[in-house]
Amino acid sequence: MTRSIQQLFDLRGKTALVTGGSRGLGLQMAQALGEAGARVMLSARKAGDLEESAAVLKAAGIDVDWIAANCASEADTRALADETLRRFGQVDILVNNAGAAWGAPAEEHPVEAWDKVMNLNVRGYFVLSQHIAKASMIPRARGEGPAGYTGGRIINVASIAGLGGNPRGMNTIAYNTSKGAVINFTRALACEWGPHQITVNAICPGFFPSRMTVGTLKALGEDRLAAHAPLGRLGDDEDLKGLCVLYASSAGKHITGQWLAVDGGVSAVTGG
């Protein structure tokens, strides 16, 4: 007999690691995974932010822990993976969300700022995915570990900025390039790791109010950006929850190598 929709979306017994999980989109997705029953590890650079966010999730009945780490550093990233596995035993769901942006005209963009964005937004995703898959997901797909393994889930947070250029006045060439790379990283990794029962998918958020977007929203105007969306609004603090749990759960077990924009329809508009 087929499972019910409630059973398909049930994440009880699963573990999840969410980077950039102390605030904004990362915290929203961590909360969604926890509400669906997963045990959640939050990671970000600042211990104070993590402690505060973990307390909020715990108050909501979510089983949560946290580790401070800088995912732009390979050593920090690998230590994060090892410590998560030490505490949780396994990682079923990895959400690569930690990211950085830099605003400057392309002709003036500092090379060191380009490297900073690429190291976190692309290299960091690769290093953590590689380590978690090699140490936890792939061995279990080979039968090493408890029975009943249902496959790994990797969710990469890209952006609609990875789908094309920007409105006039928004100069983020490194960020756009990095997010385009994340989308094809997602496709390529999905093809390579499919035989290991690992699905790899991407979420492409549009404009959501956050610390990262506060400058853009101020410069371009929230009302102007919302008006450009067919739905006439920006994203809010629950708009990524459904897609995140779909990708993470058995409901999404036949979805891999895909990206989906959560942007109020902005990416569907043509002709500016």
d(CA 42, CA 178): 23
DSSP state of 194: G
Catalytic status, residue 247: no
Cα distances (Å, whole numbers) of residue 26 to 54, 165, 208: 12, 24, 12
CA-wise closest residue to 34 among 260, 241, 252 = 241
d(CA 182, CA 194): 17
d(CA 111, CA 117): 10
Burial class (CB within 10 angstroms; exposed 0-12, middle 13-18, buried 19+) of 17: buried
Whole-angstrom Cα Rg for the chain: 18
- Where does 102-171 have alpha helices with state H? 111-118, 124-132, 138-141
Catalytic residue of the set 125, 149, 175, 247 = 175
Catalytic center residues: 175
